[in-house]
Structure 1
Amino acid sequence: MEVQCAGVEPPRQGPPHKAVGLIFSVLLGVWSVQALEMSVGKIPFLEAVNGSTVMLPCTYSSCIGIRDLYFDWQFNNNGTMQRVCQSVIASEGVEPHVSIFRERVEFVGKNRDNNISIVLWNITFEDGGQYTCFGRNPKEKDKNHSAIFTLIVVEELRVVDNTLTIIIASAVGGAIALLMGFMLLKNFTLFVLSKLEEKNKECLVTSSGIDNTENGLSGSKADSKSTPKKK
């Protein structure tokens, strides 16, 4: 027999799919934090002169660590991806053996500070374009991650016209100098006026003492004379 209390309703449970969705969102957020990340720095491009040597930076990071991390560099040659180098890093701190597939390329990362950067020697105009730093970590079910770095090869670096900057800096500097000169002149004027005011006060005190002496007031010579006695 089922007994029900009057005026008391049993607690209602939300739809099961909402609870499942919440759990899935939490797990997805934790997973995204732990995921592998590839980075080419805050400025993902470089403009370099033809014939120079440049470094293409790339680092990786993972909160859950790595195991047999596969990485490679690829060059986008007019829509065709060409492999530049590749290797597998067994674990943290282990220096990988890197295979190079392109001339004038040197691997300089050596897995120090999770660094997998490369250097291009004596670059030519054909070396200009997009380079992709790719990584895949088996510890997160072989998810793919990548970052793109753009190399721009020029005949010579552009000369930046600093005329406007110089004019603005000169104007600001002149205004500051003028303001400082005005403040110095103001302080000097106030100092001179204060000295003149002190001198005027001294003159007034001195002249007041002279007047009292001449008029025979207290402290003057007239007071020092005794009154003659009557015979």
Structure 2
Amino acid sequence: MRRPRQGNTSLNVVLLLYLIGFFAPCLVSSITVSTPAELHASKGDTVTLSCTYTSTSRPTSKMTVDWSYRPQSGGLPMTFFHFSSRAFPPLDGQFTGRIRWQGSPARGVASISLVNVTLTDNGTYTCSVRNPPDVHGSPTSQIVLTVTPKMPSIRFSDVAVLLAFVLLPSAIITLILIGRMLCPMKQRNQSKAYRSPIEVTEGEEYGNHPLQAKEKRASCCGLYLTVLEDEDEYYNLKKKSPVDEGYAESQC
């Protein structure tokens, strides 16, 4: 009766080892890293590369965080930041002096910030977290950073300067032109409505007096012709009395 019991015990041990071997990878592969898929920034901004993770094990001194960068033009990823109990920022390269550690392992945060981003920072950033024994699963995640030129901003002082040096002189010039257009019209109307005594005298000299002279000449000649009834008598009188003729002509 003892041998069957030993056989059953052996079988149970084999089954237990088989189950442990089957489910063991699932127990240790439970770390998950998450980052935003895309991030947009303007030149000169400070950008936070957000990275969070979840793990079934509490963070220990063996936990590590690595950030790598692959340029937009392509190429191999380059690790530029490392964390293991403390931060190790880059000592050379394009990110020197521009990386700030923003992580908190106790809260599952492994973020960093990039100061004064430039157009050459465009590319793919990968966050990789290791927390033994959780070293499998999804320990990495990527962010695509797009940096664009910064648009010029218009401040209130710039608007005030624009109004003072452009719009105000334009308004003054417009008012002057309108005034010059209206003033000559008023002057012409006044000149038509009012004439000085000199202009009236000149008008009377050159306008009315010659007409009166013509009327006097016409009346003189008309009276002279009414006296003379015949042309023959007129010519005879001219021959006989040249003095009278001169007198008559002078009267006309």
Structure with higher Rg: it is: 2
Query: TM-score, length-normalised on structure 2?
Result: 0.44
Query: TM-score, length-normalised on structure 1?
Result: 0.48
* Structure with more helix by fraction: 2
